[in-house]
Structure 1
Amino acid sequence: MGTDRLDEVLDATYDCLTRYGVRRTTMDDIATAMGVSRSAVYQYVRSKDDAFRRLAGRLHEQALGRARRAAADTGATYRDRVRGVLAAKLDLVLELSGDSPHAAELLDDKARLFGGICTAFTSDLHALLTGLFAEAGTVAGIEPADAATLCIAQVMGLEHSQDARRLLPLASDALVTAVLGVPL
C-alpha cells in the first residue's frame, strides 16, 4: 500500500470530517475530495470507519511523537520537558477544535471508532510523564504516577479555556515546581 496515497486518503477524510462530521461523511465524499473514484479509495481503506480510525491514529501518533521528543530532550529542564509533553496534547485538541466542531469528534475517548486510540494516547502521555517525574525525583508524599495524573487533569481542564496556550506554561510551571520541590 502506497503511504503517500494513503496519506492523501486520510487528508481527504479530514477535509470531509471538518465539513460534514463522521456520520454524514460518505466514501463518495472522500473520493470526491481526492478527485478519484470510490473504488480507488477502497484500495487504501476498507471502509469509512477504517479511514476515520486511521486518521485518528495518525493525528494521535503525530502528537505522541512530539510528546516523546519533548520528554527525551535531556538538554531541557524537567519543567520544559513536562510542558512539552502537555503542549503536545493541548495542541492536538486546540488544532482539531479550531478546524471544525466536527474535528473534535476524533478526540472522544468514548467513541466506538477511536475511543481506544484516545485512551491509549492518554495512557502513553501518562507513562512519559511518570517516567520524567521518576527520573527527576518528586517531593515526599507525591508518587510520580500521581504527579502525571495531575498534569493530565490540568491540561484537560485547560482544553476548555479561551486562553489555553498562554496559561499552559503558567499552570505546568506551578505544578512541576510543587511536585519537584524546585523554585521557579
Structure 2
Amino acid sequence: MNRALRIIFSRYGIIVIILVLVLGVIALANRRQETPLDGTNGVDSSEGEATSEGLREDDGFATEECEGDGCFTDAELPEEAVETAVEFAEAWLNPDGRSAQGWHDSIEPFLTSDSADAMEGVDPETVPAEEVVGEATAEGLKVSVPLDTGTLTLTMVEGSNPWTENGWLVSAIDWEQS
C-alpha cells in the first residue's frame, strides 16, 4: 500500500493523473459538440415525438425573457424607467473622473446584480463617449440614449438589487457607434 501511494504521489504519478483529467475533459468537450442543440434530445423528429424550430444564429445582443404582468414588450416603458436609464448613462460616462472602483460604485445602484457583477473590473477609460446629446427614447424594454459618439441602448427590467428596492434596473448594455 505504501509503495502504491508513493508511486501515485510521485511526480510521475501526478503527471499521469493530470494527463488523465485533461483527456477526460477533452473527451467530454468533444461529446458535447456531437450532441444536437435542436431541442430533440437525440430523438429523431421524423418519428413525431419531438419537433424543432432549428438553430438560430446568435446576433450578440443580450435579450431578456419576460413572463407575467411585469412585461412591457408591447407597451411603452414608464417615465421612471427612462429617467433611470438616463441617470445610469450620465453615471456611466464618468464625468467626475472616478477611479475604476469609484466608477463601478456609482453605476452599481442602477444595475441588476448580474450586470453589476459583469461590470466589475471594467476600466471607465474605455467608455466610448463623453456626454448625452439628446432625448432618450423607449421602445419595448429598451431605452436608447444618444451620446456624442453613438447610441447607448439599455435593456430595462423591473426588480431590486442590494441598493434599490423594486425599481427599474439596467439588465443589459449595448453600444452602437455612430
Normalising by structure 2, what TM-score? 0.23
Higher strand content, 1 or 2:
2
**Greater helix percent: which structure?**
1
Scaled by the length of structure 1, what TM-score is found? 0.22
